[in-house]
Chain A
Amino acid sequence: MDAATLLSRFPATQDLAGKDMPTFRVAGADLLAAVRFLRDEQGFDLLADLCGAEWPDRPTRFGVVLHLLSTAGKEYVRLHVDAVDDRVPSVAALHPGANWHEREAFDMFGIVFEGHPDPRRILMWDGYPFHPLRKDFPLAGIEVPLPAADVAAVTGQTVEPAPMMGGPFVSPGGKLSEGEPSALDQSWTEQHPKA
């Protein structure tokens, strides 16, 4: 891994001194060129993973993390990209395997990948209104109409949130210690005899 060339060729790149593998923050504008440089000149021929993340302490709310693997050099490299205005250029043209990973990052965080060949949701259904891995999305989910609009119109059914909030091991939103396992439903106790 030739870090010096990467840093000199893309001056906006920051070395983040990763503990487990070389880690860099690449500017969105440089991403395609940097990934191509790593693939063609440094032998990072396999895109191991691409995922979205939400960072509270950075100027941009969302970011994308890429892990590239060199099968010949037997090493990984990690690239952080900030999603300015929730947008990141798509690397699917360089690594076709990124196609589904980017669809998932869009699905889960709402990050838009510019130039993506097939920008649809992948795990949630088309027309689902939320991006569930965002930190402000509740764990239990939010009630939404059924995926099939015609069925929903006839039956009036909805997709309901899982009854998890307040249950054991689920934080009510604050610290985990405040989400102590507790029986919120007191109807069975002696003070509140069951009706």
Chain B
Amino acid sequence: MKITKEISLGDVAARSEELRGENMTLNMGPSHPATHGVLRLSLELDGDKVVKCDPVIGYLHRGDEKIAENMTYNQFVPYTDRLDYLAPLANNVAYAIAVEKLAGLKLPPRCEAIRVLCCEMARISSHLLGIGVYAMDTGAWTVFMYTFNEREKLYSLFEELTGARFTTSYTRIGGVTRDLPEGWLKKVDAFCDGVLKTIDEVDRLLTRNGIFLERTEGIAPISKEMALAYGLTGPNLRASGATFDLRKDKPYSGYEQYEFDVPVGTKGDCFDRYLVRMEELRQSVRILRQVVKTMPGGAWYAEDAKKIFLPPKAKVMTKMEELIQNFMLVTEGPQIPAGEVYFEAENPKGALGFYVVSQGGGVPYRLRIRGPSFVSLSILPAIVPGNFLTDIASILGSLDFVMGECDR
């Protein structure tokens, strides 16, 4: 006697509509450890699969563009720290170069080399954090401790250079706030030795780690065409196979003098994005070593920038002209000629763009900030559906965004 009827897969497939449950709406964030800040994802789930993903942003919107229209060019520098707050030095440089282009300033080689040093150290600091928390998102705790150890060393170097560990505000329009401290370059060189060891260690911990591969390989691939269509930049674009790097293709601040390779991925999945960042770390160290070796002497600010810099405090207190200049710079701001300029710098997260419109005077008429994280997140509705809920942590970590820059 046969009492059970064999249910074949064919039967289940035929009844799939009948067996289908209700879709569930799930809110992820704005307070969630995997969303790296105040990002909220409004998800529609079919079981464990994501059907629809709608990112909700703006929780960290501070109106930076509005604020910029109401203050002088010099006063806005500290606000750029708070865009991508994991690489404030690189933001400072991007903003300063944009305004310098408008003002027509030419910088001396030493200043440019210092800025390259700043940008690459910021990149190392940002990628170390990006990889560290990415490993944590996918279940590997130890990597985070290794990378944060190196970041602490970097912060000590930043502190010695700028006086601040986190919000550096180091550049000024036409230069930097102060020259390199004595013996600082030697410490950078020593840091390079140490960080290379850490990178190798992270490499051994992650790159052939079965769990990590399972969580990242083949997850959310972005084709080259798609990456370009969505305007992705930086490591996320290059992981998809495009070779575009602003440091190579539109060199600024003297990047053309240094030798480095641009790592490019093939599949554009989460694992490729991780690999590209790992290799960029090594290339950044390579650039750092060259800058340290060839650091030119001379002035660390542009000669014409004396009309923009605040005069030395001692002179302000004793000399009439400097007092007047100080007063004018604080109240009216540096006089920048009318015009418009758009400048993008290759920041750790991608191309950080500043579109500055001046109508003359010391206050920008319009200052638009193009945050690479904003663009990276705009691709989520296209790549997340079809993946499992658990993959979202992996996808978000691999895009390496920061909400300060996304919401501005």
- Tell me the A residues contacting B by CB distance below 8 Å: 18-21, 23, 45-49, 51, 53-54, 65, 67, 71, 74, 76, 78, 95-100, 108, 122-125, 132-133, 135, 137, 139, 169-171, 176-177, 180
Give Cα A48–Cα B353 distance, bound, in whole angstroms: 8
Q: Within B323-377, which residues are at the interface with A (CB < 8 Å)?
A: 331-333, 339-344, 351, 353, 355, 357, 362-363, 366, 368, 370, 374-375, 377
Q: Which residues of A sit under 8 angstroms from B320, Cβ to Cβ?
A: none
Q: Does B180 make an interface contact (CB < 8 A)?
A: no
Given contacts A20-B340, A45-B228, A78-B340, 13 further A-B contacts (CB under 8 A): A21-B342, A46-B233, A46-B244, A48-B342, A48-B351, A49-B353, A49-B368, A67-B355, A74-B249, A76-B342, A97-B375, A169-B75, A176-B332
Map CB proximity to A onto B299-336 as digits: 1 under 8 Å, 0 otherwise: 00000000000000000000000000000000111000
Q: Which residues of A sit under 8 angstroms from B357, Cβ to Cβ?
A: 53
Map CB proximity to A onto B373-408 as digits: 1 under 8 Å, 0 otherwise: 011011100100000000000000000000000011
Contact B230 A97 (CB under 8 A): yes
**Segment among B65-73, B82-90, B276-284 that sits at the interface with chain A:** B65-73
Q: Which residues of A sit under 8 angstroms from B370, Cβ to Cβ?
A: 48-49, 51, 67
Q: Which residues of A sit under 8 angstroms from B378, Cβ to Cβ?
A: 97, 99-100
Contact B66 A132 (CB under 8 A): yes
Q: Take A20-B101, A49-B370, A176-B362 as given contacts and tell me if A123 and B228 are in contact as well, using a CB distance cutoff of 8 Å.
A: no
Q: Which residues of B sit under 8 angstroms from A139, Cβ to Cβ?
A: 63, 66-67, 70
Partner of B231, one of A48, A122, A137, A170: A48
Contact B230 A180 (CB under 8 A): no
- Tell me the B residues contacting A by CB distance below 8 Å: 57-58, 61, 63, 65-67, 69-72, 75, 101, 228-233, 242, 244, 249-250, 331-333, 339-344, 351, 353, 355, 357, 362-363, 366, 368, 370, 374-375, 377-379, 382, 407-408
Q: Which 8 A-B pairs have the closest CB atoms?
A: A97-B231, A123-B58, A100-B378, A97-B230, A49-B370, A71-B244, A51-B368, A123-B61
Contact A100 B332 (CB under 8 A): no
Contact B66 A133 (CB under 8 A): yes
Chain A's closest residue to B378 (CB) is: A100
Chain A's closest residue to B357 (CB) is: A53
Chain A's closest residue to B63 (CB) is: A132
Chain B's closest residue to A54 (CB) is: B366
